[in-house]
Structure 1
């Protein structure tokens, strides 16, 4: 029986406003793409990096950003000069900073899952800003245990970070469910120690066509239903 739900942070509990910022950057080149086109291009770029270059996205962005922007523009069918795009992004940084914000309903979903009797935790590959992101969004208040790679010196998919979390939560792998958006970090890592894993992909199988993994959900608002419960009551989303 599942007693403990463990979550990833980025693109599981929280997301950035990167699509809006990039749309502003493209307008400087008289290029126009709608929010959905940009969001899907980001999604495909993330998934390609997760598959082909594991661990890179969790590192200093200066090490991979030109490479990443080139891939993003490929999916947007844009032959733009990467260095010029990066310069425009830097010029927009003060007016349009990239910010991490909880998904709509994320905090309410966590609160609802706690009301059902589940304990909740976080296992995330993140730098020292993780605690700030959690606190700003009120997510830390809903979590019983928080395990962050930069604090413990371990990163997913290393099974030891999952073992550490289980030890802190005083729960077994078979009683735990991990929810995350990166198959190569989240599913492979958690399954190495026998944890169940629920994969989030907002676009069905797009970006992960090479996989036949199930179950897949579109976001954490579907976790309760997956566990056999009713959806989050409307009054909790007010």
Structure 2
């Protein structure tokens, strides 16, 4: 299946924070040391759990969700005791270098390749009013024809209205679109509700999404080009095997 327009989520699809290093330092100070790999996977699992059980919460200001987030993160890492002190330390150190957003490796390579192949690119993201400055600081803003941010339009994924707004702004049919994100419950449910196809990036295989055994995933944005080349070779009647309705 050929697509004309590729839409992207932002956080943990295109950009990320070095939060694992920050949390690791905090744990060392509290005597609850864990390996970087353990912390990385715990963040991943906590992200997926909150996306599934508390839709839209991660789009809210961090002060609203971070106590729950740190609690679940510590639970996943089997850290017990004074979790409040860990939370306080997190808020105090959050303005460090690790709190900046960075583009994933291969992002520029992939976006350049997509543009050379003639695709139009857009963003549909649940984000606060810092979204455009984050994209600019990461050197990404100029790649996208259409940028639709929840805090600007008043709708957040999976609300189909944010996807409809994006389609109208871009002047494109949903059947010609592929949406790429990292969150089934926001990205797949929302995109498929308006007729877009979808692709989910899940960095650790099926970790954190075990309840979705039929959902096709890739492990990195670097896998997007091979995925598109494969779908282009398939018959026009191909469709995603796993729908939002299950």
TM-score scaled to structure 2, two decimals?
Answer: 0.90
Task: Quote how far apart the aligned CAs of 1:45 are.
Answer: 0.5
Q: Residue in 1 aligned with 2:213?
A: 212
Q: TM-score, normalised by structure 1?
A: 0.92
The DSSP-based 3-state class of the residue aligned with 1:72 is helix
Note the residue ranges of structure 1 that are not aligned, 5 or more in a row: 230-238
Q: Distance in 2 between matches of 1:70 and 1:113?
A: 40
Deviations 1:123-160 (A, max 9, x none): 00000010111000111011111010111111111111
Asked if structure 1 preserves the Cα contact closer than 8 Å seen for 2:17 and 2:98, the reply is no
Q: Deviations over 1:158-192 (max 9, x none)?
A: 11111111111111111000000110110000101
How far residue 80 of structure 1 moved from its aligned partner, in angstroms, is 3.6
How big is each residue's C-alpha offset from its partner over 1:194-215, in whole Å with a ceiling of 9 and x where there is no partner? Answer: 1000011111111011113432
CA deviation after TM superposition for structure 1 residue 10, in Å: 0.3
Matches within 5 A, 1:78-117: 78-117=79-118
Structure 1 residue 104, shift from structure 2 partner = 1.0
CA contact (8 A) 2:121 2:145 kept: yes
Q: How does 1:25-104 map to 2 (within 5 A)?
A: 25-104=26-105
**Superposition CA RMSD, Å:** 1.3
Residue in 2 aligned with 1:143? 144
CA distance in 2, matches of 1:20, 1:100: 14
Q: 2:53, 2:91 → 1: CA distance? A: 27
**Cα pair distance change 1:95/1:9, threshold 3 Å:** closer
Where do 1:172-187 residues align within 5 Å?
172-187=173-188
Alignment pair present for 1:196 and 2:197: yes
CA contact (8 A) 1:11 1:181 kept: yes
Q: Mark the runs of 5 or more structure 2 residues left unpaired by the alignment.
A: 231-246
Measure, in 2, the Cα distance between the counterparts of 1:85 and 1:204: 29
**Runs of 4+ that moved beyond 6 A:** none
Distance 1:198 1:93 in 2: 31
Q: How far is the alpha carbon of 1:90 from its aligned partner?
A: 3.1
Moved more, 30-39 or 20-29: 30-39
Is the CA contact 1:173–1:195 (under 8 Å) kept in the aligned structure 2? yes
Map of 1:120 onto structure 2: 121
In the aligned structure 1, how far is the partner of 2:10 from the partner of 2:49? 19
Distance of 1:33 and 1:102 partners within structure 2: 26
Q: Which moved more, 1:90-99 or 1:123-132?
A: 90-99
Instruction: Name the CA shift for 1:94/1:63 in 2 (closer, same or farther; >3 Å).
Output: closer
Distance in structure 1 (CA, Å) of the matches to 2:214 and 2:153 = 29
Change (3 A) 1:39 1:155: same
Equivalence map 1:214-229=2 (5 Å)? 214-228=215-229
